[in-house]
Structure 1
Amino acid sequence: MSKKRLNEIARELGVSSKEVVAKAQELGFEVKSHASSVDEASAKRLAESFGGQKSEATKVAAKVSQPEKVDETPKVEKAKETQPVVKEEVAASAVQSAPHRPQSRNFKAEREARAKEQAAKRAQKQGKGGQAKSGQDRRDNRQQGQGRSNNERNDRRDNRREQGSDKRKDNRFGDRRDNRDNRSGQSARFEQRAAAKPAGPKIDFKARAAALKAEQNAEYARTSEERFRQAQEAKKQPKKPKEIKFEEPVVESKPFVKPAPVASVLEQVAETTVDTRRKKQARPDKKRDFNGDEEDGPRKQQRNRNSQNQVRNQRTSNWNNNKKNKKGKANQPAKPVTERKFHELPTEFEYTAGMTVAEIAKRIKREPAEIVKKLFLMGVMATQNQSLDGDTIELLMVDYGIEAKEKVEVDNADIERFFVEEGYLNEEEMTERPPVVTIMGHVDHGKTTLLDTLRNSRVATGEAGGITQHIGAYQIEEAGKKITFLDTPGHAAFTSMRARGASVTDLTILVVAADDGVMPQTIEAINHSKAANVPIIVAINKIDKPGANPERVIGELAEHGVISTAWGGESEFVEISAKFNQNIDELLETVLLVAEIQELKADPTVRAIGTVIEAHLDKGKGAVATLLVQQGTLNVQDPIVVGNTFGRVRAMTNDLGRRVKTAGPSTPVSITGLNETPMAGDHFAVYEDEKSARAAGEERAKRALLKQRQATQRVSLENLFDTLKAGEVKSVNVIIKADVQGSVEALASSLQKIEVEGVRVNIVHSAVGAINESDITLAEASNALVIGFNVRPTAEARSQAEADDVEVRLHSIIYKVIEEMEDAMKGMLDPEYEEKIIGEAIIRETFKVSKVGTIGGFMVVRGKVTRDSSVRVIRDGVVVFDGKLASLKRYKDDVKEVGNAQEGGLMIENYNDLKVDDTIEAYIMEEIKK
């Protein structure tokens, strides 16, 4: 026979364990505490002592966990047949029992009571004996143990659900037994009611349990309906669930009234909107448990309890999005899967060598993995970021059936392409342009005077030394037509400037003095013009002088290939006097005639291109460049690239210093707005926008710097000897500052051409502008000489040069610069010496002195022996030692020299092997004067 503990009996009876223990001791049972056990008979007796109804409820409760097999008919229909409707009087009494604070229902006790009632009815109907009943009791005891475990789990689950603070006893700081007392009182009332009920038909417990569960959910839905409605405002308002009233315990004399059928309860639940949100979150009345977090049952293991990074608001955070099997995941709508759009392959593909797989895939609208697979099948291992050569790209396009064409890359930084590109100029828009005439000739043959006469000015009188220092560009008008003149200096130092002038000119006026004839610079000008394939017009100047001989000039020029048309040649000769304005009109008519024969045309509609004539750095304007427009029209605010610089045309002035907004072909203008000073002779071009001009200018500057670095000579086995030889050559460091870029180039070229054996000029820095502090600092660091040509140092630079002892030379004529540099370079050469024998002596006796050395007594046989002379020891005609004297004495006195036929003593440094009859040869090294 199974036994039961007193605490289990107390739980079934709904009384405290102390009362059960006291009652058991009163009945004479041997028990000590609520954990003591009694047999089944004692348990029944103990239950009967608390009342007949309780005893019957205890008896029936032992069999609740093992119901008999029921019929397979639909459960809902059986429930309808067996369950009567609840009376309204019972519901009213339940409402009046606690109007201010309704008690929470004990569903567990209700289920147990109903199960006991049905079990008792079946037992009475079947009429089983005591023996069968005993077996049934044992089964009931086993089922009761299982039922208790299930009921305990149900209790914990029920307590975790949201309960209003008004539906349970506020016992935060008290004992949990008070809550159990509430439940026990209800259980007792249900047991009394169950004992008084008559036996009825069988009940489908599963259907009844489902109905009770639905009732429980309906009650929870009713408590949280307000919050749920606020969250679902946009949705359809759910119907308010009908209030379900349950029966309350009745007195023993009243018959038992069955509750409403299960089907009706299910219909009511179906009409309500069930809240699918997490129910544990909606418990504002329970902030925490004060009984060790065990008020709702045993403590549960809490994850991330000490995590400081856990986000409390789980509904608006994504801290646990990566967790598997998380709650609410089934309620999330599935993400729509969009089908990939199919793209047609292009018919042509323009590629460049070095394209990556990803770039090709993007162009042909295919996945990179697909292209990688095709390349793998072709035997090419590649990734999507790997570059492919042109052949591989063509094979890949053949596999796709696409025609591959290699893209012709256009170098945006190449300005020279505008001058040779055939499609750049529009033949239909070509118009006649003014000729560009360059005036060349020897020094002081009258070039600037001629140009001055043409411009009706007297700028020639301001030239230093009678030499034109700058390239000038001027425009005059003759017979309604314009002529542009370029004036190049005539000195040999400006060869590069004259060559640059010849490269942009259409005609050359070669000025030759009638009294001086052909000079070296005249021949050089002829060669430049022939190299540029430019026609030459010879202007024989100074015919007003008494010694003028034009016929001699014509003959000398014919010897150098410049033949007059009168002699059957192609060159026009005009005899003029620039000083007295003779035959100037005839010269201009000849210029226009030759230009008309050449048919000079230009397209003014394209973007302007041309050449830099001169450039300098202005203190107030910045970089100023004189440009000659060769094609197109230059406008203010045009983005422009000039040489290795770029900028925007900020202001533009003509040769008269007047501001203009446009400049057509063959027009010289000065512009500002460049970021740096360009080099004279550089080409310029106007670009579409400032962005492309900036990119082209920066790229050209980068290439120029790279080219300059590559020009550095590296040592190899082939040039090793030359490098070692060059290391023996001395160099003089020079910093050049001039007023214009052309003068800087000419001065640098002249200095580098100075030929002094063993010395060369090293130009450390050359620039346009005044001598500043940075130039002095650089000169001090590199031990350089600063040369200023037509510029002056600033006050700060002058004081710094005096403090740092840096030499600054200022010049305005190039002759003096070259002469001074030649003298300085000659002075830097190491002096050359030659050997001169001054005397000869014979060793007559030797004396060895300890700690001193060997002393030789000698007699001078020729010349003299001096103290500072070098000596050679000659033995049997062979030089055995060459060194210096350590001491020289005559008798006991130190002397500076010993003359002819005199005796003396000597010691030689680091040599003690003197012997009798050795010859001592005295000599000195004398500097050779150059």
Structure 2
Amino acid sequence: MIRQPIVSVLGHIDHGKTSLLDKIRGSAIREKEAGGITQHIGATEVPMEVIQKLCGNLLNSDSLKTPGLLFIDTPGHAAFTNLRKRGGSISDLGILVVDVNEGFKPQTHEALSILKSYKTPFLVAANKIDRTPGWKSQPDKTFMESFKSQSEDVQQTLDMKLYALVENLYKAEISAERYDRVDDFSKQVAIVPFSAKTGEGIGELLMVLVGLVQKYMEKQLEVHKELPAKGSVLEIKQSEGLGTTMDVILYDGTLKKGDKIVVGTLDEPLVTNIKAIFLPNPLEEIRLEKKFKSVDQVTAATGVKISAPGLENVIAGSPIYAVHGEEEIEDMKNFVKSELEEIQIETGDTGALVKADTLGSLEALVRLLTEGGIAVRKAEVGSISKKDITEVGALKEESPANAVIFAFNVKTLPGVDKDAYDFGIKIFGGSVVYSLIDDYTEWEKEEVERRKSRALKNRILPGKAKFMKGMVFRQNKPAVVGLEVLGGTLKPKIELMNKDGILIGTIKEMQKDGERIHEATMGDQISVSIYGASVGKNIFEGDEFYVKMAPSEAREMREKLADILTGFDIAILEETEKIARKK
């Protein structure tokens, strides 16, 4: 038996994820096929008859095997990452929605990274073609029909926007092309232009999805109706009159009222019995969460609400398995435990603490942080506690850059914000991974400068400069000459030595562009007055000068402050140490 594939819709905010699904549902209602669409918890099942109606002549009905498509309609990519099973996501296909006029945005890149990491086949749905300047909409027509009716200028404008998407995908090492130009769908990602507003291209989008399923996924979609159900927890919530319930997407088997299930928690896996299984009422009541109907059993793929004792500690993203015999329970508990341990990530003694709302989000966040070069010491599901602050605070002195917490869609418990402030712990919170990474990167740069400023306060800094030819303004008492700073820092009152380690004088004053300055750094060309220097006696045009330091002083700075000094600073310190040793 072939089940319908589970299709997740991902993309940047406001690029049209929800609008796409609303358009498919709305079109079906206008075609008087609303009764054919079944609303599930977190998902919408669109049967093949409805898809054929929306596709028209684009689909050959004689060869169709899949019963339809099950769209995950929880907005954003959180649902995609939450719905996991061993080895990846339970989603069979992904739709990456991109506003063709805005192109790739932070969440687009984020969603693409997640699709690649889970190795999920996907297509790109290029939305809002109706906003192309000069576009004349042909509501509910196919993309090709509408595209051919546009002027040549409009066609070229849209093609340029589509090629920009192709280029972005190429940079991510993905070969892509407009769907009608794809030679091999197993090697190229199809880009389907459409408009969620006018319906143009919806037919081709559904056609390509069904085509991918028919050609490449038949074996993967075999459902074992007679076996116990397998699924993933989408969400834990309080439901009026039912208490704590869990919304679940089933991807295999059959689930019955009274079944014993094993599901993951933060501690030992929970073993409990299903009291009730609920489905929402028909499509027109999609937004009314309170209205459900009780059913005795359901078969995958489907979304259901489950009522059972002890669900309070179940975590979203955890696996759920039904068991048909007592002898299976311990084996299944160990299986669930091992599956959860896959993503309880600890990478060593240093790195950031990561907290997320679900196991799937945790897994995706850690992967993206690691790819971004940010070390992760520990990763857990749940709110930020005082214990977390104390634990991270203990690492602050040893590694300030790692004394941070990434909080993805989680809250801080009462009193934690004050503790974080007292310990000086930085918390990066939000629901967009790329924003968290950008915020951290900016903070890290600022933190390095702050640490550098504190560590180098009242210290003599390394510096190197060259006496520019033709830049003698006064021979001596004091000598006034032009210097180019080759690296490090020059300041008034510091002593300069030549490449033989011999003291040549002390800087009295510096000017740049006629203005007095108190600091000069690499690349600056300045005029400098030097007491003790005499042009033609102890300094000569073309000479290189160094800030005078004792060998021990240069060595100590190089060893103790290596993490906050630039490569140029360290190189100059090494030169300075060698020169000082000569003397």
- The answer on whether the counterparts of 2:82 and 2:360 sit within 8 Å (CA) in structure 1 is yes
AA in 2 matched with 1:476: E
Identify which of structures 1 and 2 has the higher relative contact order when contacts are C-alpha pairs closer than 8 Å and 6+ apart: 2
Once the two structures are superposed, what CA deviation does each residue of 1:226-276 show, in whole Å capped at 9, x if it has no partner? xxxxxxxxxxxxxxxxxxxxxxxxxxxxxxxxxxxxxxxxxxxxxxxxxxx
AA in 2 matched with 1:475: T
- The answer on whether the counterparts of 2:83 and 2:249 sit within 8 Å (CA) in structure 1 is no
Secondary structure at 1:795 match in 2: coil
Matches within 5 A, 1:676-687: 677=314, 680=317, 683-687=319-323
- The answer on whether the counterparts of 1:837 and 1:923 sit within 8 Å (CA) in structure 2 is no
Q: 1:541 aligns with which of 115, 122, 127?
A: 127
- Name the structure 1 match of 2:441: 822
Q: 1:475 aligns with which of 26, 41, 44?
A: 44
Secondary structure at 2:548 match in 1: strand
Does residue 742 (structure 1) correspond to residue 356 (structure 2)? The answer is no
* Offset at residue 542 of structure 1 (A): 1.3
Which sections of structure 1, spanning at least 5 residues, go unmatched?
1-430, 458-471, 714-730, 840-858, 882-897, 903-919
Q: 1:778 aligns with which of 384, 387, 391?
A: 391
Distance 1:754 1:627 in 2: 32
Whose strand proportion is higher, 1 or 2?
A: 2
- The answer on whether the counterparts of 1:440 and 1:498 sit within 8 Å (CA) in structure 2 is no
* Offset at residue 816 of structure 1 (A): 3.9
* Offset at residue 636 of structure 1 (A): 4.1
Matches within 5 A, 1:396-795: 431-440=1-10, 444-454=14-24, 473-478=42-47, 479=49, 483-486=69-72, 503-515=89-101, 521=108, 525=112, 528=115, 534=121, 539-547=125-133, 549=155, 551=159, 560-562=175-177, 564=179, 575-582=193-200, 584=202, 587-588=205-206, 601-610=222-231, 612=232, 614=234, 626-642=247-263, 645-648=269-272, 650=274, 652-654=277-279, 657=289, 658=292, 660-661=294-295, 662-671=297-306, 673=310, 677=314, 680=317, 683-689=319-325, 692-694=328-330, 696-698=332-334, 701=337, 734-755=352-373, 760-768=374-382, 770-783=383-396, 784-795=403-414
- Name the structure 2 match of 1:834: 462
Once the two structures are superposed, what CA deviation does each residue of 1:50-83 show, in whole Å capped at 9, x if it has no partner? xxxxxxxxxxxxxxxxxxxxxxxxxxxxxxxxxx
* Offset at residue 665 of structure 1 (A): 1.0
Q: Structure 1 pair 700/835, CA: closer, same or farther in 2 (3 Å)?
A: same
Once the two structures are superposed, what CA deviation does each residue of 1:776-835 show, in whole Å capped at 9, x if it has no partner? 443444444344444433334345556666554543444542232112222444649532
Distance 1:442 1:706 in 2: 28
Higher CA-based Rg = 1
Matches within 5 A, 1:32-431: 431=1
AA in 2 matched with 1:752: T
AA in 2 matched with 1:541: N
Once the two structures are superposed, what CA deviation does each residue of 1:190-241 show, in whole Å capped at 9, x if it has no partner? xxxxxxxxxxxxxxxxxxxxxxxxxxxxxxxxxxxxxxxxxxxxxxxxxxxx
Does residue 900 (structure 1) correspond to residue 531 (structure 2)? The answer is yes
Distance 2:385 2:43 in 1: 32
- The answer on whether the counterparts of 1:453 and 1:581 sit within 8 Å (CA) in structure 2 is yes
- Name the structure 1 match of 2:32: none
Distance 2:127 2:233 in 1: 26
Once the two structures are superposed, what CA deviation does each residue of 1:259-303 show, in whole Å capped at 9, x if it has no partner? xxxxxxxxxxxxxxxxxxxxxxxxxxxxxxxxxxxxxxxxxxxxx
- The answer on whether the counterparts of 1:647 and 1:690 sit within 8 Å (CA) in structure 2 is no
- The answer on whether the counterparts of 1:438 and 1:502 sit within 8 Å (CA) in structure 2 is no
AA in 1 matched with 2:324: E
Distance 2:380 2:340 in 1: 16
Once the two structures are superposed, what CA deviation does each residue of 1:420-469 show, in whole Å capped at 9, x if it has no partner? xxxxxxxxxxx443332233456654223212434569xxxxxxxxxxxx
- The answer on whether the counterparts of 1:499 and 1:528 sit within 8 Å (CA) in structure 2 is no
Distance 2:423 2:116 in 1: 48
- Name the structure 2 match of 1:923: 548
Secondary structure at 1:437 match in 2: strand
- The answer on whether the counterparts of 1:436 and 1:483 sit within 8 Å (CA) in structure 2 is yes
Secondary structure at 2:360 match in 1: helix
AA in 1 matched with 2:302: T
Secondary structure at 1:607 match in 2: coil
Secondary structure at 2:45 match in 1: strand
Number of equivalent positions:
407
AA in 1 matched with 2:129: I
* Offset at residue 638 of structure 1 (A): 2.9
- The answer on whether the counterparts of 1:489 and 1:497 sit within 8 Å (CA) in structure 2 is no
Identity rate, percent: 23
CA RMSD of superposed structures (Å) = 5.8
* Offset at residue 608 of structure 1 (A): 1.1
Distance 1:670 1:748 in 2: 29
- Name the structure 1 match of 2:579: none
Distance 2:363 2:328 in 1: 30
Which sections of structure 2, spanning at least 5 residues, go unmatched?
28-40, 51-66, 136-154, 281-285, 397-402, 468-475, 482-489, 504-528, 534-544, 558-564, 570-583
Q: Structure 1 pair 613/532, CA: closer, same or farther in 2 (3 Å)?
A: farther
Distance 1:837 1:587 in 2: 64
- The answer on whether the counterparts of 2:234 and 2:249 sit within 8 Å (CA) in structure 1 is no
- The answer on whether the counterparts of 2:346 and 2:376 sit within 8 Å (CA) in structure 1 is no
- The answer on whether the counterparts of 1:436 and 1:666 sit within 8 Å (CA) in structure 2 is yes
Distance 1:529 1:837 in 2: 50
- Name the structure 2 match of 1:149: none
Secondary structure at 1:628 match in 2: strand
AA in 2 matched with 1:453: K
Pick which of 514-523 and 660-669 moved more.
514-523
- Name the structure 2 match of 1:380: none
Distance 1:619 1:653 in 2: 11
- The answer on whether the counterparts of 1:642 and 1:684 sit within 8 Å (CA) in structure 2 is yes
